[in-house]
Amino acid sequence: MFSSFALHHAWLIPLLPGIAFVLAGFLRALGRLAAALVVTAIAASFALSGGVIAEVLSTPITVEAPYVAKTVWMTVGSLILEMGVLVDPITAMMLFVVTTVSLCVAIYSVGYMKDDPGMGRFFAFISLFVASMLGLVLASNFLQLYVFWEGVGLCSYLLIGFYYQRVSAREAAKKAFITTRVGDFGLLLGILLLQIHFGTLDFLNLRMLVPLEVLTLGTVFLTVAGFLLFIGPIGKSGQFPLHVWLPDSMEGPTPISALIHAATMVTAGIFMVSRMSPLYEMSEVALSFVMIIGAITAFFMGLMGIIQNDIKRVVAYSTLSQLGYMTVALGASAYSVAVFHLMTHAFFKALLFLGAGSVIIGMHHDQDIRHMGGLRKYMPITWVTSLIGSLALVGTPFFSGFYSKESIIEAVHHANVPGSGIAYWALLSGVFVTAFYSFRMYFLVFHGKPRFETAHGHDAHGHDAHGHDGHGAHVPHESPWVVTVPLVLLAIPSIIIGAIAADSMITGEYFKGVITVFADRHPAMAALAEHWHGWVAMALHGFTSLPFWLMVAGIATAWYFYLVNPAIPARLQQTFKGIYTVLENKYYLDRFNEWFFAGGARRLGSGLWKRGDQGLIDGLVVNGSARLVGWFSRVLRQGQTGFLNHYAIAMIIGLAFLLFWFLPLLASAQ
């Protein structure tokens, strides 16, 4: 049976894209055949992932009876390091999501990158990225997870800096790499702390040992470990204050934006924290910290989306905000709902990014939404699919995003973790903000008066021109089928996947035993299960809920501001110029990081160099010791006259000294 074969050969899922990377990256003779090779490899991984999730759904594979295959990697003294495959329901879900989105992105890229001279290199990087992400998901221990975690970070650097000829792309790639390394260092410290304390990094072993820690030593250690481990997701998943790299990553090609920001790299942190739910359940302080960080990210990054004019950056800040929603859910102990939103978000966010890429193609690589308008007449498929993605994003009832987003808000409402009240109102405010900036982009791009006839010029072009001629006045056009087919394929789960999975994921049946929640301490999920009456009833009730009316208010405001009375945004910008300036400067975090961290590091380095190296080491130790030896030598040289009588006098003086020193000592001893 194929599903059983797929489960017992799950190691092939990351291996196939890995082999494709080696062939596409090192066999330049393949040329554009590299694209076909990579698409085929990812398609095979997708098929195997489908077999794995089918087997998981048909057999009782839980945390008590997961599929585990391990082998010894290396032995260092008494330390045995293993590598292996761990398949449980959360692994199966992640495999399905990652391979589905990656396959759609790979197919899409065939059309999007067809004229780019670096097409072979691009697909090689994509293949390595997918292999690293799949290896991360299948990891059976923290060490293996960390290896692939760093692999994903390396690939993001390569992909964001794909157009390395541009200074902006190189700077964005370095910014992403350095910023995420800060978070990764915290994660590494947390991993080392677990190894030192528990003597194991195996996920299943840690699940058994963590509760014993509370019984013996209390929660202090687990709180520290939880803080350190969460620093990794703060970097990788773009949470405040390490979110600054993610909007700049739009310098990479649009398919990369979809791949990084949808189901892969940025969600790795959500997956890791959910996997370690037993640890976080033991620490109220760690959960509160996670929730507050998520609430700040969800609201304030959403505000940033309001002022963006680059179509990709609007969607990028939307990703930051939605990752904040997931993080808040983690802090509320609603891990299954966080992972549920991870899944639904993967489909509609990939759809929005790829839709943005299709618009960029149709607009001849102009990314400024102020230069668009009326594109629904010229790009009907892109229009409809982008509308579906936007409706899912804002949480429209019966769309996939509604079920997960509404569940997060309800879970936080019922949570008793410190900070849940603030987080709840931050999320409610975020509903209005999300609806406003999402449909601001939608109305400016697809409705209203066409503005592209007079807007095109050299300075109007975005970053994804990759060899195309984008100058002159062009009439927009629908993208080729290789671009539009992935849009249609992603639009389908953006509508239905929420309703299909809501029952098992909201009530926790799918993750039963895999995700640990202490209902007596954290009642959020129990409250959701108690009020659950099916996906239809939930959607119908959604029409009467506060989030729905906040969503309607956001859409209506965007419609009035940008279609009915477009003079209002300009007046508001002048009225609230201070706030606009703060948002335009990204809360001055980049400047602060440049002055405090980067500048501070340079000043510290300069001080250590001038005062430490040159002044202390070279000046005092090295040169000082040389000068001391030279002075001492000069003093001694004064006694080296070459006259025998001088040496005889020195010997007599020395002998006299010895006699006067030692004779009293000898007398007292007798």
What pLDDT, on a 0 to 100 scale, did the predictor assign at position 41? Answer: 95
CB-CB contact of 431 with 341 (8 Å): no
AA letter at 251: E
Distance CA 608, CA 669 (A): 56
Distance CA 69, CA 477 (A): 51
Q: What is the mean pLDDT of residues 191-220?
A: 81
Q: With 50 as the cut, is the pLDDT of residue 357 above it?
A: yes
Q: With 80 as the cut, is the pLDDT of residue 637 above it?
A: no
Q: With 80 as the cut, is the pLDDT of residue 11 above it?
A: yes
What pLDDT, on a 0 to 100 scale, did the predictor assign at position 469? Answer: 44
Q: With 70 as the cut, is the pLDDT of residue 375 above it?
A: yes
pTM listed for this prediction = 0.87
- Burial of 80 from C-beta contacts in 10 A (0-12 / 13-18 / 19+): exposed
Q: With 70 as the cut, is the pLDDT of residue 468 above it?
A: no
Q: Which residue has the tokens 């800060």?
A: 182
Greatest C-alpha distance within the chain: 119
Q: With 80 as the cut, is the pLDDT of residue 563 above it?
A: yes
Q: What is the mean pLDDT of residues 398-410?
A: 94
Q: What is the 3-state secondary structure (H, E, C) of 525-550?
A: HHHHHHCCCCHHHHHHHHCCCHHHHH
CB-CB contact of 323 with 264 (8 Å): no
CB-CB contact of 505 with 336 (8 Å): yes
Q: Encoding tokens for residue 480?
A: 């080729």
Q: With 80 as the cut, is the pLDDT of residue 27 above it?
A: no
What pLDDT, on a 0 to 100 scale, did the predictor assign at position 459? Answer: 43
What pLDDT, on a 0 to 100 scale, did the predictor assign at position 603? Answer: 83
Q: With 90 as the cut, is the pLDDT of residue 385 above it?
A: yes
Q: With 90 as the cut, is the pLDDT of residue 268 above it?
A: no
Distance CA 423, CA 202 (A): 33
The overall average pLDDT reported for the chain is: 86
Asked which of 70-79, 380-389, 530-539 is least confident by mean pLDDT, the reply is: 70-79
Query: Higher pLDDT residue, 261 or 17?
Result: 17
Instruction: Count CB neighbours of 256 within 10 A.
Output: 27
CB-CB contact of 341 with 414 (8 Å): no
Q: What is the mean pLDDT of residues 338-353?
A: 93
What pLDDT, on a 0 to 100 scale, did the predictor assign at position 198? Answer: 86
CB-CB contact of 17 with 130 (8 Å): yes
Q: With 80 as the cut, is the pLDDT of residue 668 above it?
A: no
What pLDDT, on a 0 to 100 scale, did the predictor assign at position 494? Answer: 93
Q: With 80 as the cut, is the pLDDT of residue 88 above it?
A: yes
pLDDT digits (tens, 9 = 90+) for 536-548: 999 999 999 999 9
The dihedrals phi and psi of 339, each to the nearest 5 degrees, come to -70, -35
Q: What is the mean pLDDT of residues 492-500?
A: 93
Q: What is the mean pLDDT of residues 380-387?
A: 94
Q: With 80 as the cut, is the pLDDT of residue 574 above it?
A: yes
